[in-house]
Amino acid sequence: LQTNSNDQRTMKLNILALPAVFLGVEAFAPSPLPQQQSSAFRKQSSPPSKLFALNTYARTKWNPRGPSTSGFGSATATSVPYDAIRAELKLLMDNPSWDDGSLAPIFIRLAWHSSGTYDAATGTGGSNGAGMRFATEAADPENAGLEVARAFLEPVKRKFPSISYSDLWILAAYVGLEHTGGPMIPFQPGRMDHPDETYWELKNMSYGRLPAAEKYCCPHLDDSNVSSSLDETGKVKGWEGLCTHVRNEVFYRMGFNDQEIVALLCGGHVYGRCHPNFSGYAGPWVEYPTQFSNE
């Protein structure tokens, strides 16, 4: 966090808080639902020593609050009613019209995708700016479907115009985590919105900063030909290239280590489901896609 760049400081505060959230979670079964839980998802408690190490690591390595708020955007904490906005966001979370009855997963995805363009070396990208409001960044194939999340948050923005879109998207994810059984993350305000999308060219931005699920893998094949897409060990052909993409081209670029990459990828995919019209895939990753857990 030793930088005077608003973009860099803002980015570190929001994306690096998320691995700490998932690294610190204890193994637990979600609250029982009327249906019987599948034995495939029953979890074993980790050894106390390992949990202690992870919790200690999370507390000491990351500080979600970061440094003082001086130097952040023009809106101050006293001029924006964050408590009222939190309360309004909580009213939105349970929505039977969307997926599994919760908007929390898609708000979390919006926050991550707005943050995941960060480049530590140049200080470009990240959630500061809310560039997905404009056509160029919104058209990134990895952002397909996020217009839904942005539309659900528009009434909140209209009711509380003093909050930036950049702050609103991140705060919505924090409230979503809390509402679904996760921890309450102290919120660091001050992100400023881009006035237009000239930043895209001025900062030499381009597609490819977000992780692509099948990059360097074999082309998608239908079920009848799936065996031809696997190597002799049963792995999808090209998986080595995908690993290189995820580690070197995406997360190392942002300053993550391997443990943090696993925490963010696995923790994030506990939430929500895939949509064929957005990604080509269908269905949830886990049995309870609206509950905070390490399932």
Contact 131, 146 (CB under 8 A): no
Query: Measured in whole angstroms, how far is the alpha carbon of residue 196 from the centre of its chain?
Result: 24
| Residue 242 and residue 215 in contact, taking contact as beta carbons nearer than 8 Å | yes
How many CA atoms are closer than 13 Å to the CA of 135, on its beta-carbon side? 0
Sign of the C-alpha dihedral computed for residues 154, 159, 162 and 168 taken in this order? negative
Q: What residues are labeled active site?
A: 113, 285
Pair of tokens at residue 258: 């391997």
CB 80 within 8 A of CB 189: yes
* C-alpha–C-alpha distance, residues 62 and 155, integer Å: 33
Query: Measured in whole angstroms, how far is the alpha carbon of residue 238 from the centre of its chain?
Result: 25
List own/partner pairs for 214-219 with CB under 8 A and 24 or more apart.
214/242, 215/241, 215/242, 215/245, 216/240, 216/241, 216/242, 216/244, 216/245, 217/241, 217/242
The backbone region for 294, taken as left when phi is positive above 0, alpha when psi lies in -120 to 50, beta otherwise, is alpha
Distance separating alpha carbons of residues 174 and 178, to the nearest angstrom:
6
Q: How far apart are CA 2 and CA 67, in angstroms?
A: 9
What letter would DSSP give residue 139? T
Q: Shortest CA distance to 89 belongs to which of 64, 107, 110, 112?
A: 107
